[in-house]
């Protein structure tokens, strides 16, 4: 059978990382081709190369569509070749109607005037094609996420897309919405539309795919037909890498329970979706507790809701050193000695226009001041102490943090939280996007903190890191804890098994 799309030896580098390292990816006409891999395996990068988000010239390798070599400089170039990509975060404008959204930027016009009758007629046809029984005049903000996903697909079809790329389309959907979506994809396949399906949910992948390609660390591990896969083989292919000895693991002795979370349930800020579902766990002195799971599993939401910084907590209690406490604000949490380092350091961590000193002291100004007046000399002394301790590479304390490298920015935020003298330090993806040297320093620091009696909770999507540093691992899937593993029994396969929704039964060994 003919390949409708061939990507050959694609190499894409970012400063410091090779995100794609010679990926070859071939898709046959009219199939549903699943692309799977861990977070950071390179799936999204590969699709951005394909759709022209990363223009021709910024990567190496060849893209052949319908037998012709293509050089996409812009998304519109790939759209002209019939490639449409639907992102995980939907790009619809909520205030507009379905019809307006579908033809946005592609309006049915004659002499600059929109022909609404034509627009509605065409939209109706498209909606029928994706199985949506809604009026084209419905406001998008009023329909559910599942329906919005289908509108996105209709929008892609309106551009005569013959290759449809769906990036985690079911991540935000309920079971039945997912089922509807998969059925629509099957129907589109009947109509000859080729579909590239990126998903973390392995059962779903196995249910719908004709062919599966597994990526790992920017390389193609395998491409094979569905019949030759089962869940175990997929997991083995996804995670089957050597854990190199980059983790400075030292034996910890876990002590008494410092913090306990009981029956913690959280809804999203809109109060519509349960993101953390009846979670209970303990944090002990002298151990690094790892929180594993795939993106969207609810780990960040869990941590931020404990910190009173996200969502609506509908039930649950926090017991800190034997006492039940109520945390009403971030300030409360900090006062109780709970600190949270966010995964998004630019958005939630740093004030980019402020300097190293001001960022480091930001959460501790009260203890550095008297009657509301900051003792600047004390502030300099304290921040200098942490800058030295964490080996932050900065020309001076007066350097704006926007001019520091990612690793040093992260160290500044860690310094900020250490200055608050935390009892429990929650680190959300502490090493994301930083170089190997800085990573190692952060791991060493975590060990030092354990020595000092600080409890460390680490959220990590990087499996080797999770296994390499944690003394105990909790795995979340769809807001629930699906597995708990001790350091000696944890393997990448087991974590991935629980993270993809497996429960109770331990997986077979590869």
Partner 1 sequence: MLKDDMKEKEDIHMENTSLWEIIAHSIRKNIRQYTMIFALLEIWLVFSILTGFIFLTPRNLSNLFVQTATTAILAIGMVLIIVTGNIDLSVGSVMGFCGAVAAILMIRAGWSPLPTVLVTLLVGLLIGAWHGFWIAYQKVPAFIVTLASYLAFRGAIIGITGGQTQGLEMAPEAAANSFKAIGQAYLPKINESLPFHDTSLYLMIASVVAYWLFEMKVRRDRQKYGFHVLPMKYQLLKMFVISLVIAAFYGIMIIYLGVPYSVILVMTLALLFTFISGNTVFGRHLYAIGGNAEASRLSGINIARNVRILYMLMGLLTAIAGIVYTARLNAATTSAGQNAELDAIASAVIGGTSLMGGEGTIVGGVIGALVMSSLDNGMSLMNLDITFQYIVKGLILLLAVWVDVKTRRKS
C-beta of 264: minimal distance to partner 1 in Å? 19
Sign of CA dihedral 461, 467, 471, 472: positive
Determine if 333 is a binding residue for partner 1 (CB under 8 A): yes
| Interface pick for partner 1 out of 309, 313, 325, 506 (rule CB under 8 A) | 309
Determine if 352 is a binding residue for partner 1 (CB under 8 A): yes
Question: Which range of residues in 108-116, 158-166, 255-263, 330-338 is near partner 1 by CB under 8 A?
Answer: 330-338
Nearer of residues 93 and 365 to partner 1, judged by Cβ: 365
Tokens for 206, please give them: 């196995």
Question: Which range of residues in 142-150, 245-253, 391-399, 489-497 is near partner 1 by CB under 8 A?
Answer: 391-399
Exposed, middle or buried, 155 (CB in 10 Å: 0-12/13-18/19+)? buried
Question: Which range of residues in 45-53, 85-93, 131-139, 340-348 is near partner 1 by CB under 8 A?
Answer: 340-348
Task: Report how far residue 36's alpha carbon sits from residue 101's, in angstroms, rounded to the nearest whole number.
Answer: 30
Tokens for 202, please give them: 């392995």
Determine if 376 is a binding residue for partner 1 (CB under 8 A): yes
Q: Which residues contact 67 (CB under 8 A, 6 or more apart)?
A: 2
Nearer of residues 78 and 408 to partner 1, judged by Cβ: 408
Determine if 342 is a binding residue for partner 1 (CB under 8 A): yes
Determine if 336 is a binding residue for partner 1 (CB under 8 A): no
Determine if 269 is a binding residue for partner 1 (CB under 8 A): no
Tokens for 306, please give them: 């404990």
User: Interface residues for partner 1 in 95-154 (CB under 8 A)?
Assistant: none
Q: How many residues bind partner 1 (CB under 8 A)?
A: 36
Helix intervals (H) in 136-199: 145-158, 175-190
Task: Report how far residue 408's alpha carbon sits from residue 411's, in angstroms, rounded to the nearest whole number.
Answer: 5
Tokens for 232, please give them: 């175990």
Task: Report how far residue 375's alpha carbon sits from residue 424's, in angstroms, rounded to the nearest whole number.
Answer: 27
Nearest to 304 by CA among 414, 428, 419: 428
User: Interface residues for partner 1 in 404-463 (CB under 8 A)?
Assistant: 416
Q: Provide the β-strand partners of residue 20.
A: 12
Determine if 388 is a binding residue for partner 1 (CB under 8 A): no
Nearer of residues 328 and 488 to partner 1, judged by Cβ: 328
Residue 70: CB atoms within 10 Å: 18
| Interface pick for partner 1 out of 88, 138, 369, 405 (rule CB under 8 A) | 369
Determine if 358 is a binding residue for partner 1 (CB under 8 A): yes
Exposed, middle or buried, 142 (CB in 10 Å: 0-12/13-18/19+)? exposed
Determine if 270 is a binding residue for partner 1 (CB under 8 A): no
Instruction: Tell me which residues touch partner 1 (CB under 8 A).
Output: 307, 309, 329-331, 333-335, 340, 342, 347-354, 358, 362-363, 365-366, 369, 372-374, 376-378, 380-381, 396-398, 416
């Amino acid at each position: 059978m003919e390949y409708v799309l061939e990507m050959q030896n694609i190499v894409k580098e970012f400063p410091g990382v090779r995100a794609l390292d010679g990926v070859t990816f071939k898709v046959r006409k009219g199939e549903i081709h699943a692309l799977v891999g861990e977070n950071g395996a390179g799936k999204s990068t590969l699709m951005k190369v394909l759709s022209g988000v990363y223009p021709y010239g910024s990567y190496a390798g060849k893209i052949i569509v319908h037998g012709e070599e293509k050089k996409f400089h812009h998304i519109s170039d790939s759209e002209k070749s019939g490639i449409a990509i639907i992102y995980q975060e939907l790009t619809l404008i909520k205030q507009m109607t379905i019809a307006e959204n579908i033809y946005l930027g592609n309006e049915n016009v004659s002499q600059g005037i929109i022909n609404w009758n034509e627009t509605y007629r065409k939209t109706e046809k498209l909606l029928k094609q994706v199985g949506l029984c809604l009026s084209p005049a419905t406001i998008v903000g009023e329909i559910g996420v599942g329906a919005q996903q289908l509108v996105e697909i209709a929008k892609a079809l309106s551009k005569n897309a013959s290759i449809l790329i769906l990036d985690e389309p079911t991540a935000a959907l309920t079971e039945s919405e997912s089922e509807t979506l998969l059925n629509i994809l099957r129907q589109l396949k009947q109509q000859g539309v080729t579909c590239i399906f990126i998903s973390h949910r392995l059962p779903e992948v196995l249910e719908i795919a004709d062919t599966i390609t597994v990526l790992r660390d920017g390389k193609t591990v395998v491409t094979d037909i569905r019949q030759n896969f089962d869940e175990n083989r997929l997991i083995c292919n996804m995670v089957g890498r050597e854990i190199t000895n980059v983790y400075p693991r030292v034996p910890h002795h876990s002590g008494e329970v410092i913090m306990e979370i009981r029956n913690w349930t959280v809804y999203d800020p809109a109060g519509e979706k349960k993101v953390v579902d009846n979670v209970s766990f303990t944090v002990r002195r002298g151990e690094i507790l790892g929180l594993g799971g795939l993106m969207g599993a609810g780990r960040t939401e869990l941590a931020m809701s404990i910190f009173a910084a996200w969502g609506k907590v509908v039930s649950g209690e926090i017991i800190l050193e034997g006492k039940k406490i109520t945390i009403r604000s971030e300030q409360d949490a900090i006062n109780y000695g709970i600190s949270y380092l966010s995964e998004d350091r630019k958005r939630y961590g740093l004030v980019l226009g402020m300097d190293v000193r001001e960022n480091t002291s930001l959460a501790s100004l009260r203890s550095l001041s008297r009657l509301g007046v900051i003792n600047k000399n004390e502030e300099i002394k304290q921040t200098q102490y942490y800058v030295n301790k964490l080996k932050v590479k900065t020309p001076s304390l007066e350097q704006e943090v926007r001019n520091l490298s990612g690793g040093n920015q992260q160290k500044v935020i860690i310094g900020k939280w250490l200055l608050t003298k935390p009892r429990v330090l929650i680190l959300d993806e502490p090493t994301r996007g930083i170089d190997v040297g800085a990573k190692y320093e952060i791991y060493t620091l975590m060990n030092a903190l354990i020595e000092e009696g600080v409890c460390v909770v680490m959220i990590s999507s990087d499996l080797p890191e999770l296994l390499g540093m944690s003394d105990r691992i909790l795995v979340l899937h769809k807001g629930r804890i699906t597995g708990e593993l001790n350091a000696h029994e944890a393997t990448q396969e087991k974590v991935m098994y629980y993270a993809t929704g497996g429960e109770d039964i331990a997986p077979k060994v590869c």
